[in-house]
Amino acid sequence: MSSWLLDTQLTTIQQDAFANMVNISLIHISVDATLKSLDRHSFYNLMRLTHIEIRNARSLTYIHPQAFEDLPNLKYLGLFNTGLIAFPDLTRIHSDDNNFILEIVDHPYITEIPANSFHGITSEALTVMLYSNGFTEIHPYAFNGTKLNAVLLHRNRHLVRIDERVFAGAISGPTLLDVSETSVTSLPTRGLDSLRELKAQNTWSLKKLPPIKAFRHLTSAELTYPSHCCGFKSLKRRRGYLEYLICNLTALSEQQHQKLSVSLFQAPSCQDYPNEGVGDPDEEPVLAEPPDHGHFSGGLHYHAYFGGRADDGEVGFGETLKNPQEDLGQEFESRYDYVVCEEDEEVDCTPVPDEFNPCEDVMGSAFLRVSVWLVSLLAIVGNLLVLLILLSSHYKLSVSRFLMCNLAFADLCMGVYLLLIASVDQLTKAEYYNHAIDWQMGPGCGTAGFFTVFASELSVYTLTVITLERWHAITFAMRLDRKLRLAHAAGAMLAGWLLCLLLALLPLAGISSYQKVSICLPMDTQSTTAQVYVVLVLVLNILAFIVICGCYAKIYCAVQSPHCRPSSKDANIAKRMAVLIFTDFLCVAPISFYALSAVLDRPLITVSNSKILLVLFYPLNSCANPFLYAIFTKAFRGDVFILLSKMGFCQHRAQVFRGQTVSSKHSSIVGRGDQDRKDPRETLLNPKQPPTTRYPPPLT
């Protein structure tokens, strides 16, 4: 017998309203704009009632705590789109159904679920469907005293906090938890022991999952971020190792005394053995003789008891596994046993990590982890030293010094980027999957990406300007009116700074993105503008490399020119040119690989292998430039000794360089006529007479 009540015009459902309908099994109240309350015993002691549904009663604001009382056969209670402003008290239903379903949907004014909200609804399994409500918080012990089957909380967009103890006091479960399309920032670490299926799709605020050991029996996960699925791969590895140990005890069971009771049954899936569940290693469990299992259709699955005290790091309810003989058999099997001796089963997790974000740390190996620290420190120390010496020098700022300062600053920024990457790798080692979202989506990765793009582009640009300046000095050495002055160099570098700042800021403004990979390079090419940006960066770097190669070729030809007196150092000059071009190529190559990978939207090499390029080749110029363009030059060494002499060290060596300076100035005045008759290219390239006020090209 069913009762369908549509637009009744009632303001309340009074006590014993259905007392005369003893055989009623379904009550459906819908589209009732006047219904405001359910009185005490509105639905009382209806022994055959199985379904109650109240829908679209927006004036219903109050349900008496005893409105639903003593309904032993009730299977389903649904409340949809009412005007309730507080979670209803349903604790007196006392259903005996073995899978009671409670559905509360579309209640924007209910903001919290208090403690003990579901206690007393049923003594059997309970499925709770609470979605599209105004929940902001679920209090501790909300599910106290329940045997949870599924807890569905999806589309509660204002739900921010689920208390750590929300499942405390629950008898069992849940086996399914759905927090999709909510705003929760964390999940409870306790009470997830029985969880088999986790759904958290489009839950962008959930950036960190509980420790993997909290998910002992998880078989399926539908998540928001691919990186979270990486954690469940380690879950399979732990499970497989322990199962191997446990299952191989069978061979020893016939030779040892019985210390472990074992029951045989058919289980639906493989479950996890956490490391902390293992007892005293000296206590060897023995498998009892299994009973006859001819009537079982599935494979063999053993329930194993581990003696000993649980580890202090135990998650869940913190209970220690007990001897099954001290508990009721059925209760033990449902709460304390774990299935083993089944084939390894991976957690079915989506979305799967893509090629740009494999399941590994920021630095995928110990070799890279050590190398990135060495390279970053070398780049930072070397370039800081160059800046310190150049900026503290008593000589007037020349074009060469000005350009070297810009180059050292750019390479210093690259060292800072590598230091950031190395620090993040160290802090997230072995569990990067749980920090990937905070890092890649946060300001840290954006800052690191800005540093690396700005540094690499400014370094390449400055190298190009330095090379052009040297080519210009040699080509127009006889033309004093064509001499490059500091104002010209400052204008060129100002344009370069603006260009490099623009290229580094564009990904932060939404054109491409630094968030796609853990090393924070602009690899996102989902839009046309992003593709144009990546191609532009690639083309600029290739053009700069071509210009550098062309200029050094011209310089070498000038050295070999019959107008220049042959030098015994020509071979060394050629070798140094080759080193400069080779280091430039090694720096450009990784950028080209990354850019092409981004444009094609697939890695030309794996991201794991590309990190080798990042650590060993990408910052090569940043490490080599201070030495090739400054530290290895005699002019720089002179500046160092003069600076040390001010502190009381190396007075004699400093005097030698000061004497060279005075001699150079005197000869430039007395013998100006002789120098004018001499090809200035020999002065620029002669290693025996380096001027101390100018950094010569790194050809000497």
Residues pairing with 5 in the sheet: 29
- Mean pLDDT value across residues 104-133: 95
Total domains present in the chain: 2
The CATH number covering residue 538 comes to: 1.20.1070.10
Task: Give the per-residue pLDDT at 473.
Answer: 79
In a domain, 518, yes or no: yes
- Asked whether residue 422 falls in the same domain as residue 343, the answer is no
The per-residue pLDDT of the chain, averaged, comes to 75
- Asked whether residue 331 falls in the same domain as residue 384, the answer is no
Out of 95-104, 324-333, 392-401, 653-662, the most confident range is 95-104
The 3-class secondary structure across 491-506, one letter per residue, is HHHHHHHHHHHHHHHH
Write out pLDDT tens, residues 268-309: 333 343 333 333 434 433 333 333 433 433 333 333 333 333
Domain finish residue from 626, 652, 675 = 626
- Asked whether residue 332 falls in the same domain as residue 388, the answer is no
In a domain, 271, yes or no: yes
Write out pLDDT tens, residues 26-67: 999 988 888 999 999 988 888 889 999 999 999 999 999 999
Residue 533 belongs to domain spanning:
366-626
Domain finish residue from 314, 332, 353 = 353
In a domain, 684, yes or no: no
- Asked whether residue 445 falls in the same domain as residue 588, the answer is yes
- Mean pLDDT value across residues 673-698: 41
Q: Which amino acid is at 545?
A: F
- Asked whether residue 233 falls in the same domain as residue 373, the answer is no
Provide the H-helix boundaries in 646-697: 651-670, 672-677, 680-685
Provide the H-helix boundaries in 346-442: 366-392, 399-427, 436-441
In a domain, 421, yes or no: yes
> Does residue 441 surpass a pLDDT of 70?
yes
Please report which confidence band the pLDDT of residue 575 belongs to, taking 50, 70 and 90 as the band edges: low
In a domain, 74, yes or no: no
Task: Give the per-residue pLDDT at 167.
Answer: 95
Residue 396's contacts (CB-CB under 8 Å, 6 or more residues apart) are 693
- Asked whether residue 409 falls in the same domain as residue 349, the answer is no
Task: Give the per-residue pLDDT at 99.
Answer: 92
In a domain, 614, yes or no: yes
- Asked whether residue 379 falls in the same domain as residue 471, the answer is yes
Q: Which two tokens stand for residue 99?
A: 């899978």
In a domain, 479, yes or no: yes
552 touches 467 (CB < 8 A): yes
- Mean pLDDT value across residues 198-223: 91
Q: Which two tokens stand for residue 454?
A: 């700005």
Cα 194–Cα 197–Cα 203 angle in degrees, nearest 5: 120
pTM, two decimal places:
0.67
- Asked whether residue 300 falls in the same domain as residue 388, the answer is no
Residues pairing with 151 in the sheet: 128, 177
Render the burial of 526-535: b for 16+ CB within 10 Å, e for the rest. eeeebbebbe
Q: Which two tokens stand for residue 487?
A: 């104002």
- Asked whether residue 496 falls in the same domain as residue 401, the answer is yes
- Asked whether residue 345 falls in the same domain as residue 384, the answer is no
Task: Give the per-residue pLDDT at 346.
Answer: 78
Q: Distance (Å, rounded) from C-alpha 261 to C-alpha 281? A: 18
- Asked whether residue 414 falls in the same domain as residue 540, the answer is yes
Sheet with 263-264: strands ordered across? 263-264, 302-303, 339-340
Q: Distance (Å, rounded) from C-alpha 650 to C-alpha 512? A: 52
- Asked whether residue 248 falls in the same domain as residue 386, the answer is no
Write out pLDDT tens, residues 224-261: 988 888 888 766 544 445 555 555 554 445 444 444 44
Interhelix angle 528-559/570-600, nearest 10 degrees: 170
Domain finish residue from 574, 605, 626 = 626
Q: Distance (Å, rounded) from C-alpha 393 to C-alpha 389? A: 6
In a domain, 359, yes or no: no
Task: Give the per-residue pLDDT at 175.
Answer: 94
> Does residue 342 surpass a pLDDT of 80?
no
191 touches 169 (CB < 8 A): no
